[in-house]
Structure 1
Amino acid sequence: MSAKFLSPSITAFTESRDVDEKGCLSQWQRLIENGVDGLLILGSMGEFFALTSKQKRQLIELATSQLAGKTHLMFGTGCNGVEETVELSNFAFQKGADSVILIAPYYMALSEDDLFAHFSSVAHRVSGPIYLYNFPARTGNPITASLLVRLLAENENIVGIKDTIPDVAGTRALMAAIKEERPGFEFFSGMDENFFHNALSEGAGCIAGLSNVFPELTSAAVRAFANADFGGMSEIQRAINEASGLYNIVSFFPMAIKEATRLRGVAIEPYSAATPTVLSSREREQVVAVVQRVETLLNSIN
């Protein structure tokens, strides 16, 4: 049995909201050293939606120049328009990306035909592996089983999907729809808590945010699954459940993830590109409490 846990990395910023290259590299290298199976840069946790085109290219160039060949490098290049998505995706591949991941267009409601045309138009013009990103709670435009079947029938370079929905039955429905036609297609959960369920259902694992804070925990999850260590899996699940409390502290949860990462020794600032605010003293105290509880649980996990 095998599964993977990729980390959708946070993006470090200075107080002026410029990209903190030193901070980003410090976090990326820490994640690699702690055994994550790849990095997703420019994902939701990395605040792709609040970055300028220049900042996105800056992060792509930084990561590929420093980390190419050290881990799987996936970049979130999905934009609302086809042209911008194609341009950024091809830029990433030219620089050495291993794959790109495309979120569904957001803000305006689109039909299945609209989404099919969008993704197919991009796939036909991008020469590299593409993952889809289904996050209907944020986009309002779900990637349904019927849409996935249509896309895979015409686009061989669409090789997987990150399915960020809490209902594991929804991911299983996607799996069932294309399992026979594309047995190698990778289904990743976007929910940390669903890693073991996804893996036990013949999924590929997770691309989820707690790995930023506790990469040793998510790497332990991968090992426990590979070794069929059900006792270890139970302990790890308990720790993941506890760590998931970080998502409930503040509405814009990447700030809590970033603060927790700082607490674990990464030299980054608490700033976000998406909001001028920072965590309150009470919110920071809540982050500290979660981190301390999880660190206690980590002591019993090999």
Structure 2
Amino acid sequence: MQNKFYGIIPPVLTIFNDDGSIDWDGNKKLIDYLIKNGVNALFFEGSVGEFTQLSLDERRELAKFAVDYVDGRLPVIIGCGSCSTYEAIDMAKYAEKIGADAVAAVTPYYWPLNDRELYEHFANIALNIEIPIILYNIPMITGQNLSPSLILKLVKKFPNIIGIKDTIDSVAHMRNIITLVKQENPDFSVLTGFDDHVLNILALGGDGAITGCCNFAAPVLVDLYTNFKTAKYDEFIKYYHIVRNINSIFDLGESIIGVLKEACSQVVGVNNFVRPPILGCSKENAKKINKILKSINLL
């Protein structure tokens, strides 16, 4: 069966009210915007979804809401990341119970782990659920890097490990995953976490991207992917340059989540509150983001 995780998949922002409570209507509005603009799946409770700022009860509540509200319109991926293997398993089992299509499991963070420990962490998750698992590699945040050889070892042993979000600024790392793992399982999804690497991942034979900018620039990224898949390379390059301009919001010296939420607020019309300790965007940089968005016709 063909893997359903490919193309452009947003790591969906979690929308909050100004008092920090979850804004359910705002989350519905964002979900509807993303579905309307043709994304291929939805990933909730990832890094920019602020899962680290949610309690376990809130994570369960948000996961149930997401599955119910999407209601089969697109595949739903629920993040089960945790420093604790037990907690990750608990969240993964809950996601399976409520009908999620897959879970995404980020490498544990805080303690440095060796390959044996990383293997056991993901193996224990895989042994406890039957739904697909997408590995999530983001070493710049977690301090852990999943090597292509370790990924291959996991994929050989556990058929429900079906993909990876590789958020790493290394073309060689992505290339080696594609070369090693897709030879073992051609349906294994290799997805970049960086907009800058969409061209690289697709040209190397990967499957798409899970990028934060999709929360407010879904039409651009969907058209980017579509033009590549239909061999309209001149159009692809045009959209790739637009994505390059979009990424200039990350050069403003603000937190990634802060600028994403500000841009999303301006384009989609949702609240821009960010839970502490991360702070929202300054008013000065909000004006700069507005100028960038207008320059690429997103406003």
The TM-score with structure 1 as length reference comes to 0.94
Alpha-carbon displacement from aligned partner over 1:130-168 (angstroms, at most 9, x marks no partner) = 000000000111000121122112111100000001222
Of 267, 290, 293 in structure 1, the residue corresponding to residue 292 of structure 2 is: 290
Alpha-carbon displacement from aligned partner over 1:186-236 (angstroms, at most 9, x marks no partner) = 100000121122112110110111111111101111220121001101110
Task: Name the aligned partner's letter for residue 168 of structure 2.
Answer: I
Superposed CA RMSD in Å reads: 1.6
Aligned residue in 2 for 1:192: 195
Tell me how far 1:276 sits from its aligned partner.
6.4
The answer to which of 45-54 and 27-36 deviates more is: 45-54
Contact 2:132 2:161 in 1 (8 A): yes
Aligned residue in 2 for 1:66: 69
Q: Which stretches of structure 1, 4 residues or more, deviate above 6 A after TM superposition?
A: none
Contact 2:137 2:167 in 1 (8 A): yes
Tell me how far 1:250 sits from its aligned partner.
3.5
Q: Percent identity?
A: 26
Task: Name the aligned partner's letter for residue 35 of structure 1.
Answer: G
Task: Name the aligned partner's letter for residue 153 of structure 1.
Answer: K
Paired with 2:74 and 2:206, the residues of 1 have a C-alpha distance of 20
Contact 1:196 1:205 in 2 (8 A): no
Task: Name the aligned partner's letter for residue 56 of structure 1.
Answer: R
Alpha-carbon displacement from aligned partner over 1:107-135 (angstroms, at most 9, x marks no partner) = 11000111011110111111210000000
Within-5 A mapping of 1:82-161? 82-161=85-164
| 1:270 aligns to 2:272 (yes or no) | yes
Task: Name the aligned partner's letter for residue 181 of structure 1.
Answer: E
Other structure's SS at 2:209 match:
strand
Contact 2:37 2:219 in 1 (8 A): yes
Aligned residue in 1 for 2:218: 215
Paired with 2:89 and 2:255, the residues of 1 have a C-alpha distance of 29
Contact 2:191 2:208 in 1 (8 A): yes
Paired with 2:61 and 2:276, the residues of 1 have a C-alpha distance of 17
Other structure's SS at 2:237 match:
helix
Contact 2:255 2:278 in 1 (8 A): no
Paired with 2:117 and 2:94, the residues of 1 have a C-alpha distance of 25
Q: 5+ unaligned residues in a row in structure 1: which ranges?
A: none
Contact 1:250 1:256 in 2 (8 A): no
Aligned residue in 2 for 1:241: 244
Tell me how far 1:251 sits from its aligned partner.
3.7
Q: 5+ unaligned residues in a row in structure 2: which ranges?
A: none
Tell me how far 1:90 sits from its aligned partner.
1.2
Aligned residue in 1 for 2:27: 24
Task: Name the aligned partner's letter for residue 96 of structure 1.
Answer: G
The TM-score with structure 2 as length reference comes to 0.95
Task: Name the aligned partner's letter for residue 117 of structure 1.
Answer: E
Contact 1:3 1:222 in 2 (8 A): no
